[in-house]
Amino acid sequence: MHKAADAAAPVARGRREGLRERVGAYVGLTKPRIIELLIVTTIPAMFLAAGGVPPLPLLAFTLVGGTLSAAGANVFNSVYDRDIDERMHRTRRRPMVRDRVSTRNANVFGLTLAVVSTLLLGFGANWLSAGLSVIAILYYVFVYTIWLKRRTPQNIVWGGVAGCFPPLIGWTAVTNAIALPPLILFAVVFLWTPAHTWALGLRYRDDYARADVPMLPVVADAPAVTRQILAYAVLTAVVALTLWPAAGTGWLYPVVAVLAGGWMVTEAVRLKRRADAGLTDAALNPLRLFHTTNSYLALVAVAAALDPLLF
């Protein structure tokens, strides 16, 4: 009896490990780290719209629905871009490249996530929010992934529109209407995206070139790229400040927006100076700005969410 149990243990352990690997592969298709950046702009829009903490069931339905919506879009992107991912060192271990999920299963998974997210937002919030979510999915898949990404250096500028929808979805979930404050947050994310993505593109320029993706850092030199990065960083910081009068926030939001924006612009200036000096690779250190842009968005989002709780 003990021998049978001992023999069964490795089999059970192997099944558990196999299940973890399969689940991990499907989770990997959704690109969770990208979803985090999208969700962080949904919450402040909901808090601003509600003038405080929105109803918790509504908050839960919106965040879960928004997460599944972004996940579904990312799954379709993973399927379509598997040839690009295979040629890039940064992405060559993704699930589709390693054949850990079949194309059919991945497409079914993505479609299921998209449908479930739409139903959650529609019945848990309202159908305006659900409709905006569907538009974001379609835009990301068909406009950015299939049309723009492989054709133009401005791919991330206009393709990044899909990532701007979470503030609109969060605001409309509470109010069932579109207003100026979420449109400003939409614009902030739109302007923030090029500086954020091109900093990463400078670090992985050779990867994108190998995959024939015409990101701006592939087709332009570092000084030219960093000039545009600086311009977008300045515009982001300036536009973010307009939320103060538009949403009638207290002092917390503008103070954080000024300090965080100044930090981001300072790092963009430093990156431009390093590029103008002819520095490359590790000496150029574009990831320093990349991480700064992440922190900037998080700080501004937290300040926007906390402000209505304090004033």
Judge contact between 33 and 70, C-beta under 8 A. Answer: no
Closest CA to 219 of 146, 161, 277, 150: 150
Per DSSP, helices labelled H in 30-102 are 32-50, 56-80, 82-87
Domains of the chain from N-terminus onward? 33-177 (1.10.357.140), 179-311 (1.20.120)
pTM attached to this predicted model:
0.92
Kind and range of the H or E run holding 107 = helix 103-124
Residue-level pLDDT at 10 = 53
Say if residue 146 is exposed, middle or buried (CB neighbours under 10 Å; 0-12, 13-18, 19+): middle
pLDDT at 12 > cutoff 70? no
Q: Which tens digits make up the pLDDT trace of 237-255?
A: 999 999 999 999 999 999 9
Tokens describing residue 268: 């963009």
pLDDT at 16 > cutoff 80? no
What percent of the chain is modeled with pLDDT above 70? 95
Say if residue 281 is exposed, middle or buried (CB neighbours under 10 Å; 0-12, 13-18, 19+): exposed
Distance CA 310, CA 48 (A): 12
Mean pLDDT of 297-306: 96
Tokens describing residue 182: 């979420």
Residue-level pLDDT at 17 = 57
Q: Which tens digits make up the pLDDT trace of 33-67?
A: 888 888 899 999 999 999 999 999 999 999 999 99
Residue-level pLDDT at 37 = 80
Mean pLDDT of 212-227: 96
Q: Report which DSSP code applies to 138.
A: H
